[in-house]
């Protein structure tokens, strides 16, 4: 399999899977759905649907298991995440995800996160120090307009070029935009306005 650097330099298509959590009622349920959308550049090609625990510690394991068990695994060049936390504060172990999947993994954010506020909010949960450590382990938050991201498994420059190639318009890669829309539609009956 070619690396992201090779795919970009050769102007080849990049097959991506992008994950986002579906809407959920905080403190009213313990399971949260996540949608994984497979795109070839920006063209929709498939979908995975899984469940994680709200504010739990199983998101990394669930993503690894569902990607590796899928028919898409051998074709995927990169994994995108809508942020580093799903289902509240079920934090992704980004280095482990990249290592176990043997693929670059990029957590994309819509704006620079307020880490002070996040750390404060984490302190309302059990094992908050472990959650905070996972956020730290994900690495530096890079800002390459219009993207904010943390990356493991490739360089920040390659990650930024990849995000640009996978984004049709605006600052949200298409796989993440579709994951958000589908998750909202399945859980609420219609897609949300913000994607």
The predicted-structure confidence for 102-155, as pLDDT tens digits, reads as follows: 999 999 999 999 999 999 999 999 899 999 999 999 999 999 999 999 999 999
Q: Are 151 and 104 in contact (CB under 8 A)?
A: yes
Nearest Cα residue to 143 out of 109, 92, 172: 109
pLDDT exceeds cutoff 70 at 170: yes
Average pLDDT, the chain: 94
Residue labelled with tokens 């739990």: 56
pLDDT value of position 70:
97
pLDDT value of position 20:
96
Residue labelled with tokens 């929709």: 44
pLDDT exceeds cutoff 60 at 71: yes
d(CA 80, CA 177): 11
d(CA 93, CA 12): 29
Nearest Cα residue to 118 out of 106, 107, 134: 134
Q: Are 50 and 33 in contact (CB under 8 A)?
A: yes
Phi (first) and psi of residue 108, to 5 degrees:
-100, 135
pLDDT value of position 102:
97
d(CA 112, CA 118): 12
Q: Among residues of the chain, what percentage have pLDDT more than 90?
A: 86
Instruction: State the burial class of residue 6 (Cβ atoms within 10 Å of its Cβ: 0-12, 13-18, 19+).
Output: exposed
Q: Cis peptide leading into 146, omega within 30 of 0?
A: yes
- The pTM (predicted TM-score) of the whole model is 0.94
Mention every residue, 6+ apart, whose C-beta is less than 8 A from residue 4. Answer: 14, 77, 78, 104, 154, 158, 162
Nearest Cα residue to 53 out of 96, 97, 87, 21: 87
Which residue segments constitute the domains of the chain, with CATH numbers given?
Answer: 4-186 (3.30.2170.10)
């Amino acid at each position: 399999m070619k690396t992201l650097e090779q795919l970009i330099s050769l102007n080849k298509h990049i097959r991506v899977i992008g994950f986002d959590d579906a809407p959920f009622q905080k403190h009213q349920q313990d399971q949260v759905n996540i949608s994984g959308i497979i795109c070839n550049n920006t063209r929709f090609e498939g979908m995975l649907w899984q469940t994680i625990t709200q504010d739990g510690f199983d998101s990394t394991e669930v993503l690894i298991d569902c990607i590796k068990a899928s028919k898409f695994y051998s074709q995927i060049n990169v994994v995108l995440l809508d942020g580093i936390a799903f289902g509240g504060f079920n934090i992704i172990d980004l280095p482990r995800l990249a290592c176990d999947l043997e693929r670059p993994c990029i957590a994309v954010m819509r704006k620079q996160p307020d880490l002070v506020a996040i750390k404060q909010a984490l302190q309302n949960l059990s094992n908050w120090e472990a959650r905070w450590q996972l956020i730290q382990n994900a690495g530096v938050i890079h800002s390459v307009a219009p993207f904010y991201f943390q990356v493991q498994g490739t360089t920040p420059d390659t990650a930024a070029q990849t995000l640009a190639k996978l984004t049709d318009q605006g600052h949200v890669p298409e796989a993440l935009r579709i994951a958000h829309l589908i998750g909202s539609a399945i859980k609420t009956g219609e897609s949300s306005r913000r994607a």
